[in-house]
């Protein structure tokens, strides 16, 4: 058997014995051997039978316990090479991150649960003019959103100012995907303008067609995440109840109407109304 001269045969274990002692299945043992996490102490060249050494039992049990945490194998490979103190510090940091993620998800669920009930204002319809927009788009998580919106609208307004065009219109923030702590949906920041401007770097120009919006003003106190999701839920429910069709991504218009911090607006088609 390979490596037979280096180990005492009495200390060698068959995969079934080793698996029973570590509570690892034969499938798991094969996988961990292939990944280099738990390589057999020897392999019989005649039969191909794998043998594990008793000294490998603590490593096998540690891997099994770490797998119950649903950690990826790459993370486990790093953890098992650390000292007990280092491993404990890494696991505590991981646990803190998991608790923070769970807390964010709980807040999101609670915000969605009371969405329509907590919003007293009623959405309204209004005409949307044809707009020429100077835009910047990026994928961001919710923690990066405010910084991106601030920097993007400043870049856009600076560009318009440089070419001598009016730059005091509202900031339109289009959400082309879900933006949460865990989801980095595409966000497009735009400023309407008139005239002609040559886009530079990652800025671009596009036309927004005329049409109809359903909108809801949102006060500053209700505009933080996840509270603002209540406004989105209210508008979506109103669209469904009035048999409208949402035809494009929602947009936050800053500043909003009637002194609101922003308006949540959805472009809609009214052709299905009866």
Are 172 and 253 in contact by the 8 Å Cβ rule? The answer is: yes
Are 153 and 171 in contact by the 8 Å Cβ rule? The answer is: yes
Are 212 and 248 in contact by the 8 Å Cβ rule? The answer is: no
* Neighbouring residues of 53: CB distance < 8 A, sequence distance ≥ 6: 7, 11, 12, 13, 41
> What separation, in Å, do the N-terminal and C-terminal C-alpha atoms of the chain show?
83
pLDDT in tens, the chain (274 residues): 444 445 567 788 888 899 999 999 999 999 999 999 999 998 878 777 889 999 999 999 999 999 988 899 999 999 999 999 999 999 999 998 888 878 777 777 776 665 444 455 789 999 999 999 999 999 999 999 999 999 999 999 999 999 999 988 999 999 999 898 888 999 999 999 999 999 899 999 999 999 999 999 999 999 998 889 889 989 998 999 999 999 999 999 999 999 999 999 999 998 755 5
- Domains identified in the chain and CATH numbers: 4-81 (1.10.1660.10), 123-269 (3.20.80.10)
Residue 245: strand, helix, or coil: strand
Nearest to 240 by CA among 73, 59, 116: 116
pTM, 2 dp: 0.66
Which class for 260: exposed (0-12), middle (13-18), buried (19 or more C-beta within 10 A)?
Answer: buried
Q: What is the pLDDT of residue 181?
A: 84
Are 197 and 165 in contact by the 8 Å Cβ rule? The answer is: yes
* β-bridge mates for residue 132, sequence order: 193, 207
> Is omega for the bond preceding 255 within 30 degrees of 0, making it cis?
yes
């Amino acid at each position: 058997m390979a490596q037979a001269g280096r180990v005492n045969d009495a200390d060698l274990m068959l995969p079934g014995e080793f698996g029973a002692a570590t509570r690892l299945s034969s499938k798991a043992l094969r996988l961990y051997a292939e990944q280099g996490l738990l390589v057999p102490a020897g392999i019989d060249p005649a039969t191909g039978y794998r043998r594990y050494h008793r000294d490998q039992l603590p490593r096998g049990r540690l891997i099994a316990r770490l797998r119950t945490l649903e950690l990826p194998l790459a993370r486990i490979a790093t953890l098992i090479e650390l000292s007990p103190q280092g491993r404990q510090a890494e696991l505590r940091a991981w646990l803190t991150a998991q608790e923070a993620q769970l807390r964010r998800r709980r807040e999101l669920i609670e915000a969605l649960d009371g969405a329509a009930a907590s919003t007293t204002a009623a959405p309204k319809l209004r005409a949307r003019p044809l707009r020429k927009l100077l835009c910047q788009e990026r994928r961001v998580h919710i923690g990066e959103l405010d910084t991106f919106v601030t920097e993007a609208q400043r870049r856009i307004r600076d560009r318009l100012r440089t070419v001598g065009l009016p730059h005091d219109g509202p900031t339109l923030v289009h959400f082309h995907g879900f933006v949460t702590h865990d989801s980095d949906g595409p966000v497009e920041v735009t400023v309407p303008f008139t005239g002609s401007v040559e886009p530079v770097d990652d800025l671009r120009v596009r036309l927004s067609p005329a049409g109809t919006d359903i909108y809801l003003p949102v006060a500053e106190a209700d505009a933080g995440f996840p509270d603002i999701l209540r406004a989105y839920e209210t508008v979506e429910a109103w669209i469904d109840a009035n048999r409208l069709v949402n035809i494009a991504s929602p947009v936050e218009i800053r500043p909003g109407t009637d002194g609101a911090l922003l308006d949540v607006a959805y472009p809609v088609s009214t052709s299905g109304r009866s």
